[in-house]
Chain A
Amino acid sequence: MAEFKIRRFDGKKSFWQTFEVPAKKGMTVLEGLYYIKENLDSSLAFRASCRMGICGSCAMKINGKPRLACETQILFLGDKITVEPLDNFRVIKDLITDFEGFFAKHKAVKPYLIREDVKYEEPKELLQTPEELNEYYVFTLCIKCGACYSVCPAAATLDGYLGPAAMAAAYRFCADSRDKGNEERYEIASSSNGVWRCHLAMECSEVCPKNVEPAKAVQMLRRKTAFSILKSILRW
């Protein structure tokens, strides 16, 4: 038996509730939540889909740390589990938080390949060596779970701050050898909500369940942005 202590929110008030879950070897926190929903209290609200750590739905604060519920073994944590919604996000209901702003920020950095010379009707194969691929590949692994944003101290004080995930997305495209749109992204990155707001707590990289290293991406983007500003000042 494991004890699940869950911070709930019904739209008006927030309260703690405790459930007993029969924990078997191999059972994840997400399976525990499903057990509660299907057997104890079906009003419990949480997001989940893939249950294999790839869709990014189920990030929540488990025993104080943001983790993917589907990737966290109950017995690994012991028999007392506390579950809370992510910090830095507005709670909608129980463990469900509002991701609208998070996705809007992702959109704002132009996270797509910018290139004039490719035609929709006549696509062509663009060459890219495995080395060029490795330059950015790790940053493509972001599942937009929000764990990084939830621990970011800069995001805590500045609502508009782009945050680690969005900037990692921006850098991912800047570092892609097929992309030609860097300058547009530097402009966004150097805005008042961009790279200069990062104060390198680096907690984002610590909590990222996919080892994306968003803190690194922010610094790399910062370097690129700085060079591009320098260049434009010196008119290289």
Chain B
Amino acid sequence: MKVQHDIVIVGAGLAGMRAAIAAAEKSDELSIAIIAKTYPIRCHSVCAEGGTAAVLREGDSFDLHAWDTVKGSDFLADQDAVEFFVRECPKEILRLDNWGCPWSRNEDGTIAQRPFGGHSFNRATFAKDRTGFHEVHTLYERMLMYDNIEIYPEYFITNLVIEENAVQGVSAIELKTGNLVFFEAKAVIFATGGAGRLYGFTTYSHQVTGDGLAIAYRNGIPLKDMEFFQFHPTGLIPSGILMTEGCRGEGGYLLNKDGERFMKRYAPEKMEIAPRDVVSRAMWTEIIEGRGLEGEYGPYIALDLRHLGEEKIEERLPLIRDAAIKFAGVDPVEEPIPVKPVAHYTMGGIHTNVRCETTVKGFFAAGECACVSIHGANRLGSNSTAECLVFGRVAGEVAAEYAMNAKQGRISEEFMKEEESRIYDGLLGKNGDESPYEIKKELNETMDKNMWIFREENGLKEAVKKIQELKERYKNVEINDKTRGFNTDLMMAIEIGYMLDLAEVVAIGALKRQESRGAHYRLDYPKRDDENWLKHTLAYYTPEGPRFDYIPVTITKWEPVERKY
């Protein structure tokens, strides 16, 4: 089946929905489709808890926000992008307010803000500790107001069609029926989120498998800085569910087995609210050096909130208390929460410029799946939901302008046939003796072992070898469920294929980058090396494996200095 729209947006998270609204505001003549593999309000963005950064109040300034971001990024962020980004954040907060977002409030009725790791001003705007949830619902509800936005929920996209370096459309499986649907479009925006499920111990939703990244990559669009994966200090044991940074922002302590606030040895000034990479490494060092507490699921660190008191915990962190009780059987009012560092954010992504444009005409990317880059080697907490809002808007507007002057994309019969046979004969209909889930399990183990917080050459080489072996084995997978309607077995198998490609890019990129910067820490190269490595990594697809290239970082105001907290 074929469907035509002016703009097709893939992904209905914060970035995708913001883009849809922006495009619809631009012109009500444009027909806009928004496709996602779940219902929009079931996207991963609902998990974001802590806050969204924006300069709203006296005493704060754009320069300060930009500097915090650049410093946090370990100077790998493009400073022109950062300067643009910080200026756009406040408006997005106010728009959400005008659209009904239940922001937490000060007594006088103004929007409240709280401290967040790595920010030198209280600029995290929040809605209790369900910030992402409320933002998503607000955007979704707002989106319902526009007649020219059509939502396609539970469509799983499988490919991108590019001809003569211009985008033509995408193909997707309508999950309910299992039919392939081809969307022809003038412009396509990818807002498909990160790739967190590469890891086993992760805060991400099950659906975050990096599909968009892998599809773009396979179609020749370069991925940028994929070796940078953020680890959040506080993942709940055993599930990896995030204990928001708000816990520490509100005054929680991290304690080792001696009951010591060990952060004083690593970041004496900021203590627990130092940036994530610093805290994660400190925690992991404590664990490696034997100062972690021992539990059923291995060593851990204690996150202590008891001194905050029940009232404050209930008021500011209700979701955290709820989760700790439900998922770990621990009431933070009475006991410290068992945590350890956890894979949390994909800094890298589809290479775009500040206007969300990629190397292909009419193809845009925004949100976590894009790399503009404003996060560089390490994202600051609360900057990514802000990024989704700001660059979602940019992508929507730029795509709308582009679509108003572009000709309709065309998907050839030939492509349609090929895609149909690639998926239904090549994958679903095929026999083999490998289980995709076994492959995924081994991939997760490799990532958790060799591409974790501390990396070194031998481990990375081992990982590359393992991933390539898994890729070979993947060619031989068999999908048990041979039916068409709502075949989640097929969908997951395709996702696992995507993940293998991405893991390879991450591993080789990490192996090549012989320095430590932000979230990427090499035990064998523990220092930042601005002379050789102050540059972005670009990975291009080739059938033999990724080809790497490097481009310079844009520096406007802030020359790299040592990063100390």
Contact = CB atoms under 8 A, between A and B. Distances in A.
Touch A–B, Cβ below 8 Å: yes
Interface of A: 10-11, 25-26, 28, 37-39, 41-43, 45-57, 71, 73, 92-93, 96, 98-99, 103, 107, 111-113, 115, 118, 120, 123-130, 132-133, 136-137, 140-141, 143-144, 173, 176, 178-179
B238 A26 contact: yes
A48 B328 contact: no
B326 A71 contact: yes
B205 A125 contact: no
B95 interface: yes
Contact of B133 (A39, A51, A54, A137): A54
B144 A92 contact: no
Nearest to B106: A130
Given A42-B435, A49-B38, A51-B205, A113 B99 contact: yes
A107 B153 CA distance: 14
19 contacts: A37-B437, A37-B488, A38-B435, A38-B441, A39-B437, A47-B42, A50-B42, A52-B241, A54-B46, A54-B130, A57-B42, A103-B39, A111-B144, A113-B98, A118-B98, A120-B95, A127-B110, A129-B108, A178-B97
Contacts of B487: 45
B326 A10 contact: no
Interface in B41-88: 41-44, 46-47
B483 A120 contact: no
Contact of A49 (B44, B145, B322): B44
A52 B47 contact: yes
Contacts, number: 158
Contact of A140 (B43, B137, B489): B137
Interface of B: 25, 38-39, 41-44, 46-47, 91, 94-95, 97-100, 102, 104-111, 128, 130, 133-134, 137, 141-142, 144-145, 153, 176, 205-207, 238-239, 241-242, 296, 319, 322-323, 326-329, 435, 437, 441, 479-481, 483, 485-489
A123 B44 contact: no
A85 B46 CA distance: 24
Nearest to B91: A123
B494 to A, nearest CB: 13
Contact of A111 (B141, B328, B489): B141
Contact of A173 (B100, B108, B206): B100
Contacts of A173: 100
Contacts of B108: 127, 129
Contact of A55 (B42, B111, B144): B42
Contact of B206 (A49, A130, A178): A49
A179 B138 CA distance: 13
Given A49-B207, A57-B38, A71-B326, A124 B94 contact: yes
Contacts of B38: 47, 49, 55, 57
Given A42-B479, A45-B486, A55-B42, A125 B327 contact: no
B134 A50 contact: no
